Amino acid sequence: MRTSIQICGLLIGFVLPILPGMLLLRIVLKKQLRGILTWVTAFILGQSFFTLLLFVVGIAGLPLTFFSTIFILLVLTIFLWSIMRLCQRTNISPQQPTNTLTQIYNSTSCVQPLSYSRLLQIILILALILLFLLIGAISLTEAVSDRPGQAIWAFKAKVFFTEQSIPTALFKDNFRPYSEMSYPLDYALFLSWLYMWMGEINDHLIKLVPALLAMLVGVLMYSICRDQQMSMNKSLAFTLVLCGNTPFIACGQQMYAEHLLTLQVLAGFYFLYCFLNNTEQKRLLLAGFLLLGGGAWIKNEGLLIYTVAFALLLLLRGSRKWNIRNLAKDLPAMITPALIFILPWFLFRSLLNIPTIDFNFGKIIDINQWFFLPNIKEIARVFLKKMFLEIRYSCGVWILLAFTTIVHAPQLARRRASRFLAIAIAIIILVYFAVFLFSTKRLDWHLRIVPRILLVPSSLALMLVALTTRSQNKERK
């Protein structure tokens, strides 16, 4: 009975951030969206904003109890609702509720491709259901028993829940170097919020969270494919390919933050992709960067991805119609999310002088000594092996991408949105490569995480494959 109540609490706590997220999405896009994509995006935005608010309240010294956090959520929701109402009043021509991003922002009509067979559809749906049930069941067989849980995320959540605050002493504690105090607090605060809903620390049930997040990544991928008017069979197939690889499954069973980051980055890049298809819609740009900003609030890796997207968009926007006025219009939408999500955490970090343990630019090896050169071969070998040879690790995502890139090269070069995605994926992988190459840490220590860090780029790669093949079909018709 007690466990049932705790599971109910966990699920309620998990879905509640959708409320402010939905309102925020309506404010940003100024339109009412429908469909699963909206719900998933609302969850992502809502939980980022909510945990950011918890962080601000926590470092201000206010207690983080069950009732105070509910009060915070309520205030945030009412505040966003008031802004939304204000926006609706000032809106001269209210928009009709519409279904998908593609229908709103693409002027071209989309053709629904024929589905292959009903049987295949049922098999794919059953496979996905089985996959997520297995991820959830295997997660529940173990308590928090992995390094990211025990040392980083669940540990910090436990501290916040027990202390009912964000104790700054924890971040100054030199005896906890393995707790990675330089990592942002989004995931830890979200977990502690769920502990509040469960009423106590439950080391078994909390393992459901990564499994639920894994499921959301699958739902997001499916909804992106469907948003692009792709057939149900193909959408399900792409979802299964994304969710069926070994690192994805492993991250769903352990307390890694990878799935939360994948959610933010995948949704963020999809909004930017839509923006580049119709650059008049600045709201998509803001929504995209808000999501990517949320990614930077989850892991330091998210900041790298945000920076790549920022720099690349500046270059691509400038390449054709270089116009200072255009750029001036875009920049606020690109910078504001950084100020909202990244600035508070970095101010906090610099005030407390929290060092980065994994990698920082103070730890770069002496380039003049050239002894890093032999590492290039080793790093390239591991990357290529994990991407192309060990099919169970990648499920052939990179082979699909390579094939699509070769076959659809002219289309990729011609379409700005596809080009943006392709270059972003390449740069992100190159930056990982460079970090491994110049880091002073042991190379094998870095290389063991290659399959896991490739999760985010591989989700983007699969999205690019889906969007490219889909638009190719559409162009042909």
Partner 1 sequence: MRQVRLIIFNLLLTSAVTVSGYNIWKMTGVLGEKVTRGLEENISWNVELIRLAQKHVCKGKPCFVWILPVLRKEISTETQVFEFNYYLYPSKVYYMNDSEIGLCDFVICEQALRTHFERTANALNLGNKFRIVGENDDTCIYQRK
List residues binding partner 1 (CB under 8 A). 124, 127, 130-131, 134-135, 137-138, 141-145, 147, 149-151, 154-155, 158-159, 162, 173, 175-176, 178-179, 234, 237-238, 240-241, 243-246, 249, 391-392, 395-397, 399-400, 403-404, 407, 469, 476
Closest contact distance (angstroms) between CB of 476 and partner 1 is: 7
Tell me the closest approach of the beta carbon of residue 462 to partner 1, in angstroms.
9
Is 39 or 238 the residue whose CB approaches partner 1 more closely? 238
Vertex 209 angle, CA 206 and 210, to 5° = 120
Give me 128's structure tokens: 């996905």
Token output for 280: 């008049």
Task: Quote the CA–CA distance of 142 and 148 in Å, as a whole number.
Answer: 14
Region class of 199: left (phi > 0), else alpha (psi between -120 and 50), else beta: left
The two tokens of residue 425 are 């994926």
3-state secondary structure at position 439 = strand
DSSP 3-state percent helix, strand, coil across the chain (nearest 5):
75, 0, 25
Q: Tell the smallest beta-carbon distance from residue 411 to partner 1 (Å).
A: 12
Q: How far is the CB of 426 from partner 1 (least distance, A)?
A: 20
CB of 398 to partner 1, least distance (A): 10
- Of 149 and 295, the one with the shorter C-beta distance to partner 1 is 149
Structure tokens at 249: 């499954």
Bridge partners (DSSP) listed for residue 439: 364
In the complex with partner 1, the residue whose CB is nearer, 140 or 352, is 140
Nearer to partner 1, 176 or 416 (CB): 176
441 backbone dihedrals φ, ψ, rounded to 5°: -70, 160
Give min distance, CB of 189 to partner 1, in A. Answer: 17
CB of 124 to partner 1, least distance (A): 8
Residue (62 or 249) nearer to partner 1, CB = 249
Q: Which of 465, 467, 446, 442 is nearest to 395 (CA)?
A: 465
The smaller minimum CB distance to partner 1, of residues 238 and 383, is found at 238
Pick from 194, 183, 246: which is nearest to 451 by CA? 246
Q: How far is the CB of 187 from partner 1 (least distance, A)?
A: 16
CA pair distance 230, 239, nearest whole angstrom: 12
364 strand-pairing partners: 439
Centroid of chain to Cα 172: 29
**Residue 260: exposed, middle, or buried by beta-carbon count in 10 A (0-12, 13-18, 19+)?**
buried
Tell the smallest beta-carbon distance from residue 141 to partner 1 (Å).
4
Given phi > 0 = left and psi -120 to 50 = alpha, else beta, which region is 395?
A: left
**Inter-residue contact 153 to 184 (CB < 8 Å):** no
